[in-house]
Structure 1
């Protein structure tokens, strides 16, 4: 009798999960409508953008956390994403450290990167542009939540009465494939996102020993992309909102040896990871999305080269947005000043006498989006802000091979804040050595 009760409880839980997923994916006629007055469809990867009033999302400036204008590591870990102006020592990539090895001894040498504009003339004529805010299916801050709420009913596992927790709902759950090379799928109903990774126990046995890979072991890009294309097709993942896939060559364990090896022999034997990333860049209104560091954002798949299989997938999200006009910066000189730092963030200028200054040339920018975060009422909202993306010229030969572009947001709120952080008089300087 007891076993029967547990079986029935398990069946009820499965039905609840199925109901929650179906409700999450079902078109919601109460959602805003587009310009053609058609209900927004949340099935698949349909792109839906609803126009709202100007500056509807409030200030775009980075918000202080716990009274501290600089985001500490503990704040970042607690909230999951950056919600305040990051600490200058970790921002923008203007200052780095290199390990040099005279006489086989490793010595730290701080390196300061300055990004020098060598592109064509450009102008900033748009006084206002649209900022996009992603609408999550079950976000209370955006009028959602009912789809993933109150789904438990009279449900009792025998361990405790879940129905005793008022206003409870299903937020996320995990599905595991019990087969060789099976996957663990993570469905987040609150965020409207799905990711997957290896079911470790079904990929690696107790005697597993990783194979060492060399640069020459890495397959051609076409072969890697064929694997990811086939994976998407096999699992009915619609890629219509994404651009052409790209193998991520700026991965630290691929680009560095190729960029720094003095000859082919050294490059060919340099050990690399057994995993390669492929990104399908998300395209909205023909614009690509970047993060602050200059990386393209979109659907990311990792390929395990040892097994020649896709091992993980990230950033498969619903694509429903609100669009609101905001004032943009039109002073090109302010943009070029921030560009030289490599970031909108303030930086520390290290005063050691052995600091190496490296100038890195960048080319003509394109108007794209940068993904930022707005933290309000204990909720992180995802914003896409118009930005200029400056490509680094010949990144493979750059002294900073990890960075391929510099991203400067155009929103006047953000630029004004960056100018104020800079105190209007150049970079923040730390006297007498490195910052604590």
Structure 2
């Protein structure tokens, strides 16, 4: 054993003494890592993952890992099965037998390189799809808007923003204070996730010959099996949902098998419910939460290869929060080709695991996706000043701007030196069809002076580096805020009827005489 390995082992034993029992295995693992990945940091996170892998190795002798890579080229390989039994059981067997659960690297990425610009335009109908989170965030408030919405809608008039008992919104201005970056690459590599539509159709063809209670599936065409749900019939059981078309798996509580606080307080007064309210003090320590997650992943054989170190999302817990819900999220950031994946809103994207705080159990897992991708090179933006300008305007969808209100507060948010990431962006097809899921090289500009009272969604600014996307953003977005002139509500009202009597009469004549060719003559 060389000196370097001895030092690494000594450091690991300080972090986690239980690893000493597996020293022989550790030496082999560290040797392989030093050869293949000499720059690996042997820190606390490495020790945690190493311990997880060692325990996972034991459980693999009796369990098999989920394999999500097959969800895209899923099931096309093996259909030579002799079927028997009830149709419902058969359906489960078809799916189960065609999913390879034995792969050790079930979440390892599989990337197929294509020619340049292989995905066509990265925008559709002038713009990429806007996430619901971004769409709901980019709203301006103007005086009188509430009144104009309510008038004529049975609401009796309404209350304008200036009259409502609400605090004025805060305007946020971004200012870059980081280092200048030299843009050297003229191309970026864009990734597109491959889904399992062909496999879903292949599975449907396998079951078309079975009797499903009087429905003959042979009378239907172009069938595809899109979803399959399995449920554990036991206390604290789970429901597994397989989306074969999307290439994803989610795990949720089987609500029939989990205790319900409403049942406990059924027929009792509000004091019962109040006694069951959770507060931030009821949240377990971070180490306990991570241990709950690690144990669940190991017991269920779910691999975390392809994901970064987990973090606990407590961004929503502020000093003003007195009571909390039953669940807390732990996120394992997705990593593709060494780069972290973010939503364009600035939030990390990856494997999301919900913890039931009350029962100290995993409540659900979602965003488990197939790790099969295609990649293609596209033209990159090479002007960092342009990228910086877009970041200072809040990204390609611009910053939220509120009309000038009396006493309104404005905060300047400083943006630090950006980190290279992949932004998860959706492209809506023209007409019908599923949106395509892209991972586009981008810069994430962190906010380095976020105020304590800032909204939780203000985390940073994401700017895609694809030149086509930025060109489209400049063309379709007016970056500088231009409040529309405010109308005097009184000037919008009139004592005159909306339709003049003579116009109304003409409309009636037209409706009655269209068949006689009079419509064009009556005005």
Question: TM-score, normalised on structure 1?
Answer: 0.77
Q: Which residue of 1 aligns with 2:410?
A: 357
- Deviations 1:247-285 (CA, angstroms, capped at 9, x unpaired): 0122x2x1x32xxx5xxxxx7xx2222211000111111
Counterpart among 385, 407, 426 of residue 480 in structure 2 = 426
- Deviations 1:5-61 (CA, angstroms, capped at 9, x unpaired): xxx99722222232134335489xxxxxxxxxxxxx897212111110111111112
Counterpart among 463, 466, 473 of residue 411 in structure 1 = 466
Q: Which residue of 1 aligns with 2:97?
A: 22
Q: Which residue of 1 aligns with 2:294?
A: 229
**Alignment pair present for 1:151 and 2:206:** yes
Partner-residue secondary structure (3-state), 2:438: strand
**Alignment pair present for 1:129 and 2:182:** no
Q: Which residue of 2 aligns with 1:320?
A: 372
Are 2:200 and 2:226, in contact at CA under 8 Å, matched by a contact in 1? no
Q: Which residue of 1 aligns with 2:359?
A: 307
Q: Which residue of 2 aligns with 1:204?
A: 259
Counterpart among 416, 419, 423 of residue 370 in structure 1 = 423
Q: Which residue of 1 aligns with 2:346?
A: 294
Are 1:24 and 1:147, in contact at CA under 8 Å, matched by a contact in 2? no
**Alignment pair present for 1:160 and 2:212:** no
Compared CA separation, residues 219 and 356, structure 1 to 2 (3 A): same
Distance 2:131 2:258 in 1: 40
Partner-residue secondary structure (3-state), 2:118: coil
Compared CA separation, residues 324 and 428, structure 1 to 2 (3 A): farther
Distance 2:451 2:290 in 1: 21
**Alignment pair present for 1:60 and 2:122:** yes
Report deviation, 1:174: 0.8
Report deviation, 1:428: 5.0
Q: Which residue of 2 aligns with 1:334?
A: 386
Q: Which residue of 2 aligns with 1:114?
A: 173
Report deviation, 1:413: 1.2
Where is the helix percentage greater, Structure 1 or Structure 2? Answer: 2
Of residues 86-95 and 405-414 in structure 1, the stretch that sits farther from structure 2 once superposed is 86-95
Q: Which residue of 1 aligns with 2:224?
A: 169
Give the alignment's Cα RMSD to 1 decimal.
3.0
Partner-residue secondary structure (3-state), 1:384: strand
- Deviations 1:288-341 (CA, angstroms, capped at 9, x unpaired): 000111111110000010011110100111101011001111222222222123
**Alignment pair present for 1:13 and 2:75:** no
Are 2:413 and 2:449, in contact at CA under 8 Å, matched by a contact in 1? no
Unaligned runs of 5+ in 2: 1-82, 143-163, 266-272, 488-523
Unaligned runs of 5+ in 1: 1-7, 28-40, 70-81, 97-104, 262-266
Are 1:9 and 1:155, in contact at CA under 8 Å, matched by a contact in 2? no
Where is the strand percentage greater, Structure 1 or Structure 2? Answer: 1
Compared CA separation, residues 319 and 95, structure 1 to 2 (3 A): farther
Report deviation, 1:165: 1.5
Give the number of aligned pairs: 372
Are 1:422 and 1:428, in contact at CA under 8 Å, matched by a contact in 2? no
Compared CA separation, residues 427 and 137, structure 1 to 2 (3 A): same
Distance 2:294 2:450 in 1: 27
Of residues 201-210 and 241-250 in structure 1, the stretch that sits farther from structure 2 once superposed is 201-210
Matches within 5 A, 1:22-41: 22-25=97-100
Compared CA separation, residues 125 and 345, structure 1 to 2 (3 A): same
Higher relative contact order (CA 8 A, sep 6+): 1
Report deviation, 1:156: 1.1
Q: Which residue of 2 aligns with 1:389?
A: 444
Report deviation, 1:381: 1.2
Question: TM-score, normalised on structure 2?
Answer: 0.65
